[in-house]
Amino acid sequence: MCTLSEERCEACQTGAPKVSDQEMAILVRSVPEWNFETRDNILQLERSYSFPNFVDALTFTRKIGELAEQEGHHPAILTEWGKSTVTWWSHKIGGLHRNDFIMAAKTDQIFNQ
């Protein structure tokens, strides 16, 4: 059985099911440092990462952008001095899909490398 960070995003079409509360309770164990945020009634996964300067934060942002392109699933990334905040959600379904938890796990993996 592969870990969440090793999974690939599946195609997510409009009308695909959001993760159920039960699935979510299991998935969050793999990404314990991520927070749930609700914006415009859309549930999102969010985590801020700290860095010693602006350049390192921007380098991390770039790496997550490359990951997003590879997987065809794109986050919002706020880059500031010493901080990069990554937010994942599935635009097409207006909420959280299993893909978002996969991407959160991959984001952690890149940070921890």
Contacting positions for its own copies (CB under 8 A): 54-55, 58, 61-62, 65, 68-69, 74, 76-81, 91
Task: Indicate the residue type of 62.
Answer: R
Least Å distance between CB 79 and its own copies?
5
Nearest to 3 by CA among 108, 93, 111: 108
Q: Which residue's CB is nearer to its own copies, number 17 or number 65?
A: 65
Least Å distance between CB 76 and its own copies?
5
Q: Which residue's CB is nearer to its own copies, number 26 or number 55?
A: 55
Q: How far is CA 21 from CA 1, 97, 110, in A?
A: 22, 11, 27
Alpha-carbon dihedral of residues 29, 19, 44, 79, nearest 10 degrees?
A: 70
Q: Which residue's CB is nearer to its own copies, number 27 or number 88?
A: 88
